[in-house]
Amino acid sequence: MKCTQYFSFIRQRPDRAIIKDEWISDTIKNPVKTEVQSDRRIRKWKFIEEVGRYLRVILLEDGETVHNAFFDRNFKEEEK
């Protein structure tokens, strides 16, 4: 998994250290929602059953380099 130097550093925080690589990869491959930010970075969300929370992964514009990943307290999946 490619990641920015920022993510490598921030991942050492206790609240980020619990996030598994497999959760990040699965969020990238199978998101419930995707958005492109104004700076062209890509946001992807997925519900992680094991923790009962939504994970948000921020990718660089290349669509594969992870810049950030965290549990998003405010995300609500749109009703279908």
Residues 21 and 27 sit within 8 Å (Cβ to Cβ): no
Domain interval for residue 16: 5-71
Residue 76, domain member (yes or no): no
Burial call 35-73: b when 16+ CB within 10 Å, e when fewer: eeeeeebbbbbbebeeeeebbbbbbbeeeebbbbbbbee
Residue 10, domain member (yes or no): yes
Instruction: Calculate mean pLDDT across residues 47-60.
Output: 97
Does residue 54 or residue 15 have the better pLDDT?
Answer: 54
Percent of the chain past pLDDT 90, that is, above it, reads: 88
Residue 78: what pLDDT?
Answer: 74
Residue 27, domain member (yes or no): yes
Provide the number of structural domains found in the chain.
1
Residue 15: what pLDDT?
Answer: 86
**Band (8; pLDDT cuts 50, 70, 90):** very high
Residue 77, domain member (yes or no): no
Tokens of residue 12, six digits: 């050492």
Residue 79, domain member (yes or no): no
Percent of the chain past pLDDT 70, that is, above it, reads: 98
CA-to-CA dists, residue 3 to 6, 49, 51, 53, 78, angstroms = 8, 24, 23, 22, 29
